[in-house]
Amino acid sequence: MSKLKTIGITTGLSVSLLLAGCGSEEETKGNETANDTQNLGEALEYTITGIEPGAGLTGLAKDTLEAYENLKGWELQESSTAGMMGALDDAIKNNEPIIITGWGPHWMFSAYDLKFLEDSKGLLGGTEDIQTLARKGLEEDMPSAYTILDRFYWEPKDVEAVMYEAQEIPFEEAAKNWVEENPDKVKEWTDGVEKVDGQEIELVTTPWDTELASSNVMKEVLEAHGYKVTITPVDPAVMFQAIAAGEGDATVAPWLPTTHNAFYEKHKDDIVDLGENLTGTQNGFVVPAYMDIDSIEDLMPKE
């Protein structure tokens, strides 16, 4: 199928992290600011660095800013995942403060020493699962693919390994390496499944590293069983719409029960839910570990 290829990826806006009083100061000054909650808001210009406007996490972050009284005057700067990661890298290199919208599993936690801020209201979702969804009729049309997708399950450490390696090589290569290094895990998904001869299948995903890792691993496994696999990254709303309308065959990308719940509730009667393929994910506001702040409630409102 190729109907989705013209939809494209929601890329968001270019990021520009404004750290007043930090970027031009020496490292000691940066550390003082990072550990001073009274001045932290001013240093960040009361801005949380976010990702794409269409992301479920973006909506949760906006709701969080409205719900916490101490976040009055704070704003979410919508960006892109790449832009957010660039801002995080720059801040850490200079020992400067930064607050981002983050999620795990993600390779950032392997590359940097980071922590989630406690969210006492639970508005950012807490622990979630990543689900596998399929279009209606897939079991009858592609029973082998349906069985593999239904069995697909791995751990956060597995997906993080693919994501981390994919910072240096293409996701396709990182996924292939993981599949070759984990034959026992793959056998749990494929044991006894009949191979096919060139049947086409389209996996719809979101354009973020976690989902690109899982989608490319599934692509590698399905292709080893004779399928011709297309991966189509789109905005989350489009992903759910495509599966419900039968324009895409399956997805291993939705985060539930919080991040993508609005889309799931809208389309749940028109999709087949195969259950979780990964448990223990988390959304939240994330900061470098050197920042002396542990909770969203530690932040001060804009005066």
**Domain housing 55:** 5-126+284-298
Contacts with 244 (C-beta within 8 Å, 6 or more apart), sequence order: 135, 267, 270, 271
Letter for the amino acid at 255? W
Mean pLDDT of the chain: 89
Identify the CATH number of the domain in which residue 110 sits: 3.40.190.100
Span 144-163, average pLDDT: 95
Confidence of residue 191 (pLDDT cuts 50, 70, 90): very high
Each residue's pLDDT tens digit, 16-67: 333 333 444 444 445 555 556 668 999 999 999 999 998 889 999 999 999 9
Q: Cα(43)–Cα(96) distance, rounded to whole angstroms? A: 9
The number of folded domains in the chain is 2
214, part of any domain: yes
pLDDT confidence of residue 34: 53
pLDDT confidence of residue 110: 82
Same-domain pairing of 26 and 172: no
Same-domain pairing of 147 and 112: no
181, part of any domain: yes
Same-domain pairing of 50 and 190: no
DSSP tag of 75: E
Q: What is the dihedral of CA 24, 11, 74, 261, to 10 degrees?
A: -150
CA distances from 284 to 40, 76, 154, 213 (A): 18, 13, 22, 21
Identify the CATH number of the domain in which residue 179 sits: 3.10.105.10
Span 203-216, average pLDDT: 94
Same-domain pairing of 134 and 36: no
pLDDT confidence of residue 107: 87
pLDDT confidence of residue 14: 34
Tokens of 57: 């996490």
pTM: 0.69
Q: Is the dihedral of CA 111, 277, 243, 64 positive or negative?
A: negative
Q: What is the dihedral of CA 291, 293, 295, 300, to 10 degrees?
A: -110
Span 238-266, average pLDDT: 96
Same-domain pairing of 236 and 294: no
302 pLDDT above the threshold of 60: yes
Same-domain pairing of 180 and 110: no
CA 28 from centroid of its chain's CA atoms: 33
Same-domain pairing of 288 and 277: no
Span 272-300, average pLDDT: 95
How many C-beta atoms lie closer than 10 Å to residue 34's C-beta?
23
